[in-house]
Structure 1
Amino acid sequence: MDAPRRFPVFLASAPAFAFEMSSLNVASTCSRGERILRVKGIGNFIGEQRPVVFHGVQQLLHEPLRLKAWPDDAHTTWLAFIVQGLARSVIEETIAYFLREAA
């Protein structure tokens, strides 16, 4: 099996529900959850006043945490993935699809 790889994904602001749907689908479709060893990130979601921190391990996504304030001046939504046997493009395309559908 391939060695684990890590990479970031940066996103524009999006509705929280669209991001949640894309995350659930990345984690569950075609056994991809088993190939996602870890994901974490911070979100700047439309309709949220505060940044939202999230993390997950394989198919388990933990309850998001709302921070009191942004930790720095970059208010960008980003995710950090650690995967094994899964192409970065699959994750990016799945997220992009659900964000487009929500628009």
Structure 2
Amino acid sequence: AELDRHAVARTKSDILSYLGDISYAIYMIHVPFFMVAFNVLQDVFGLIDETMSTGVFIVLFALMIIASSATYQWLERPARSGIRKLGNRVFGAPTHKPSSR
């Protein structure tokens, strides 16, 4: 968010940077995602009983990353841009004039 606010250029292809961008979405949805997924797999489909296998966990983890990415793209980024535009309109856009000495 800080890099975005100051419009610092960075590589978009870096997966670790992207995971950092979506980290808040991951933080917000990981618990409910795994609770619902575990309950659906256990109660609805009967696929797991007491514990989850490593393979199922890896698939759920990948799905959670995809869901977090979608949440970031469709909710967090537009909300951040809207809040920034509203703030610029209410408080005035910051002006950066070169200092002359």
> In which range does the TM-score fall when normalised by the shorter chain?
under 0.3
Scaled by the length of structure 2, the TM-score of the pair is 0.24
TM-score (norm. length: structure 1): 0.24
Task: Compare the two structures and name the one with the higher helix fraction.
Answer: 2
Determine which structure has more spread, i.e. the larger CA radius of gyration.
2
Greater RCO (Cα-Cα under 8 Å, separation 6 or more): 1
